[in-house]
Structure 1
Amino acid sequence: MDASHRSTSVEDGYESLKAAHRISGGLTIADRMEILGTLRSSLLDRAEAYATAVSADFRYRSRHETLLTEISVVVSAIDLAIRKLPKWTRPERIGLTWPFWPAKAQVVRQPRGVAGIIGPSNYPVQLVLLPLVSAISAGCRAIVKPSERTPRTAELLEDHISKTIDPTIVRVFTGDAAVAARIARLPLDMILFTGSHSVGVEIAAAAATNLTPVVLELGGKSPVVVDRSADLNLAVTRIVSGKLLNGGQTCVAPDYVLVPAERMVEFVSLARDAAQKLHPGRETRDYSAILTDGAIARLRSLEADHVIEPLLPWPVSAPRYRPALVINPTLDSVIMREEIFGPLLPVLGYESLDEALRIVRNLPEPLAIYWFGDIGESFEKMAASTASGAISVNDTVVHAAVPQLPFGGVGQSGSGRYHGEAGFRAFSNERTVFVQSRLSLTSLLRPPFGKSADRILQGLLKQRRK
């Protein structure tokens, strides 16, 4: 990285990208394919370097978790985009109704322009590169800000992207939260932010001054509803696995579990078994650390004064945090009001499904609701009476890694969608093209109005009453 690039201000970097867009417009489909292919191969070349950098930033993170959740997920997204771009970019013909015949219309998806991407620390590679894949797929240029809480990974991202993608297409800026705030205030054509709800509100407010559209991927308390029809052993295995991924530092991690009261004791026993199968030794190399000492202190305060059931029989020392169930916390406790973002899992017994669903509805809408059990009347009741970004049945977290599925929240957990075609559309301007024919019925709907206009209007109004 040359010194001139490092000394470039965020504002100057934006202006250079905007100037390139004014001169050349959006990226051609051939350009997008080439950039994505180069990004794919260069990411694979640096996979181990990213695993090392992320682990150092976290004070320890499982190499396998990084390769699975950061590298593999991005490669899958690139492969899908390259395969589907010809279809996604094809103009969409719109069928017109009478009296607009014989006019024609279509929707053409064009690049929005220069996008801003502001990434978080919990998945510092994936949650920068996945939005970038969407932006490039749509033909946008982008200014990218990795998290300052993972500085080694941010430096590697800056070096990687600057050596892989032309600086008139993508610019990466590292630094503290003030840099992200400056990016949010730029007159960008799009911003995708991933992070906390409180910071998301600030980003949206800053973007609003320029009427910049935003996609906000925020956190939330994703509930697990274990129905009485569930295979409890299967459910607990997948709940615990999803919860302990990345030490619980996953935005779609199960945040609390609602289980039939009569099965609470069995749930606790099975959860211990599941955790010990995942992490069978006190020196396990597969259990990731908590990012900061401040986050550890917060987890301690969240579990204070609650009934705790540890999931592992041996001590777990910092910077890792002991995984545990929190049994029947009160609904007004902090652990039930705030996103946990760690390996603590509240478990609440319920007597009726209505009682369980009231708890879900009284908390902000989550990124995901996890349902374990049959797809029947009870499931349909849950789906109809709640809101979330997604519903995942008989598994946790995995849906967020499926590249074809739109990903995003609702209400307090975010707005907008990306991944796959949804990401391509989020970074695209849907431009309507209407082509009028030489002869058209609508030409008869101009003054001076006569009998032809009366007949057409009569037909239109009659049609509307149907």
Structure 2
Amino acid sequence: MTQSNRLQQQLADQLLKQDQAYRDQPYASAAVRQKRLRTLKKMLVENRAEICDAIDEDFAGRSKNETLIAEYLPSVMAINDAVRHLKGWMKPDYKMPHWLFQPATAKVLAQPLGIVGIMVPWNYPLYLAIGPLVGALSAGNHAMVKLSEFTPKFAALFEQLIRTYFTPGLITVVNGETEVAQAFSALPFDHLVFTGSTAVGKHVMRAASDNLTPVTLELGGKSPAVIDRSIGMAEAAQRLVFAKSMNAGQTCVAPDYVLCPEESIDDFIQHYIAETKRQYADIRDNDDFSSIINERQRQRLIHLLNDAKAQGATLYIVGQSGNLEDSDAFENDISFEGYGTKFPPVLVKDAPAGCELMTEEIFGPILPVVGYNERAEALQYINARPRPLALYVFGFDRALKPLFEQGTHSGALLFNEALIHVAMENLPFGGVGASGIGQYHGFYGFQRLSKLKPIVSKGRISSLKWLYPPYKGWIIQLMLKIMRG
């Protein structure tokens, strides 16, 4: 047996054990599910320092404040929300059958699917494991979790903690390199949740299709931020710096580029630089500004900038103490030596539409600024590209809301803020088209990871006997009358 076959068999054996454990309790009560969720919260609370340290070590400098804000807070909020509302979610939804089918009762029951596979990316390894896991446990499922090989310290710790707090029949953590991820995605789960890049998502969906495994794909893409003339450039810059700099831009819903009124581009860039200096000062010595996850990702970002610069783009680099450096000062390729694992915020003007920076998801603290003249031009620019995971509109004119609500497609639409929708458990989170399939969080995650099973009950009296052959003329006339409304 080859190593690949052995790996596949090991994972299949783990899945079989999970399935056997699930069959022993295929419809866990609300009390049991709440206990599981509270245990998950207990695990997070009791090991907060160790988890933050592990993520910090994996990033070689991950802001622990950002881990608390962007990972711990929404994870605990998600658990609290599920525990609070779970009994209501589980109640059957009773329906009134049409009079033609009376006497009868009908209801919709949210039934657990079984075993849910969860594939976790490296950028928010805690929250993007806990979020889908809360949905799976709320719905009464068991789960297998594959963590990213790029966060090995956290992955090893999380596996150890799950083994300590849960039985392997309920939650199993799988760690390993790319071949493990490929074998994991090919398992016959009852549902597979993947968070990551669009390119990898295609491979995951292709592997899942062999088993007809339904998938939820939380992908990324290029999420635009539109600045309208009805907001000051200083105010827009202030709100965008935080959204773009969180986790050094390594966020699937981070603003990927800005559409700015043509005449205000330089003004916006200056305000953005000043606000970055105010919030972070010198990023090299600032523990609140996270590092790039690894050298491979750092070199990818450098390549994007050098490619854009070679095609005529102008770079504005926020250097030491927030100083502005114009790309004209660079005769050679940019390398950012001296920054260590950090990467300085960079604004890019006049990047050609076809360069890699404008066609690939950036996933870093680089922000291209694209000019527009009329609102219709901004809408056309957005709609001509793949549908984004999020769309951010900054402006106080009331006409903006109906214009963008009805005139664009995106996974989420926010006005005058960014990122925050991800932490709102009573909203669905998910993409559309190239940015994802399906949605979860809160009640929407409970539904996504359940089978909404219709249940119809009839008693001793069956009105349908009137429909049995031989067909009577008056019955056919009645049917035609019903169809006419």
TM-score over 0.5 for the alignment? yes
1:428 shift after superposition: 0.4
Alignment of 1:37-436 (within 5 A): 37-282=38-283, 283-304=285-306, 305=309, 306-312=313-319, 313=322, 317-374=339-396, 376-436=398-458
User: Structure 1 pair 41/101, CA: closer, same or farther in 2 (3 Å)?
Assistant: same
Q: Secondary structure at the match of 1:317?
A: coil
Q: Distance in 1 between matches of 2:468 and 2:482?
A: 15
Q: Distance in 1 between matches of 2:142 and 2:31?
A: 15
1:438 shift after superposition: 3.5
| Alignment match, 1:3 | none
| Alignment match, 1:25 | 26
Alignment check: 8 A CA contact 1:186 1:207 kept: yes
Gaps of 5+ in 1: 1-5
1:202 shift after superposition: 0.8
Moved over 6 A (4+): none
Q: Secondary structure at the match of 1:9?
A: helix
Q: Secondary structure at the match of 1:332?
A: coil
Alignment check: 8 A CA contact 1:226 1:260 kept: yes
Q: Distance in 2 between matches of 1:198 and 1:406?
A: 23
1:278 shift after superposition: 1.1
Q: Distance in 1 between matches of 2:110 and 2:53?
A: 39
Q: Distance in 1 between matches of 2:51 and 2:462?
A: 61
> Residues 338-379 of structure 1, C-alpha deviation per residue, up to 9 Å, x if partnerless?
000000000111111121112111221110000111363343
Greater mean alpha carbon deviation, residues 339-348 or residues 277-286: 277-286
Q: Secondary structure at the match of 1:27?
A: coil
Q: Distance in 2 between matches of 1:378 and 1:405?
A: 21
Q: Distance in 2 between matches of 1:454 and 1:61?
A: 71
> Residues 221-271 of structure 1, C-alpha deviation per residue, up to 9 Å, x if partnerless?
000011122243222111111000001100000000001112112211110
The one-letter code sitting in structure 2 at the alignment partner of 1:326 is: V
Q: Distance in 1 between matches of 2:105 and 2:339?
A: 67
> Residues 39-59 of structure 1, C-alpha deviation per residue, up to 9 Å, x if partnerless?
102201111111110010001
Alignment check: 8 A CA contact 1:271 1:311 kept: no
> Residues 389-431 of structure 1, C-alpha deviation per residue, up to 9 Å, x if partnerless?
0001110111111121110101111100011011111110111
The one-letter code sitting in structure 2 at the alignment partner of 1:360 is: I
Q: Secondary structure at the match of 1:297?
A: helix
Q: Give the superposed CA RMSD.
A: 1.7
Q: Distance in 2 between matches of 1:310 and 1:229?
A: 27
> Residues 87-146 of structure 1, C-alpha deviation per residue, up to 9 Å, x if partnerless?
100000122233223322110001000110010000011101111111000000111111
Q: Distance in 1 between matches of 2:407 and 2:175?
A: 43
1:200 shift after superposition: 0.7
Gaps of 5+ in 2: 1-6, 324-335
Greater mean alpha carbon deviation, residues 168-177 or residues 226-235: 226-235
Greater mean alpha carbon deviation, residues 448-457 or residues 414-423: 448-457
- Return the match for 1:443 from 461, 465, 476: 465
Q: Secondary structure at the match of 2:259?
A: strand
1:320 shift after superposition: 0.4
The one-letter code sitting in structure 1 at the alignment partner of 2:298 is: I
Alignment length (residue pairs):
458
Alignment check: 8 A CA contact 1:444 1:452 kept: no
Alignment check: 8 A CA contact 1:26 1:141 kept: no
Q: Secondary structure at the match of 1:453?
A: helix
1:201 shift after superposition: 0.6
User: Structure 1 pair 456/124, CA: closer, same or farther in 2 (3 Å)?
Assistant: same
> Residues 422-464 of structure 1, C-alpha deviation per residue, up to 9 Å, x if partnerless?
111111011110112443543312211224413421321221x
Q: Secondary structure at the match of 2:18?
A: helix
1:34 shift after superposition: 0.6
TM-score, normalization by structure 1: 0.95
Q: Distance in 1 between matches of 2:475 and 2:405?
A: 48
Q: Distance in 2 between matches of 1:443 and 1:201?
A: 50
Alignment check: 8 A CA contact 1:366 1:413 kept: yes
Greater mean alpha carbon deviation, residues 88-97 or residues 72-81: 88-97
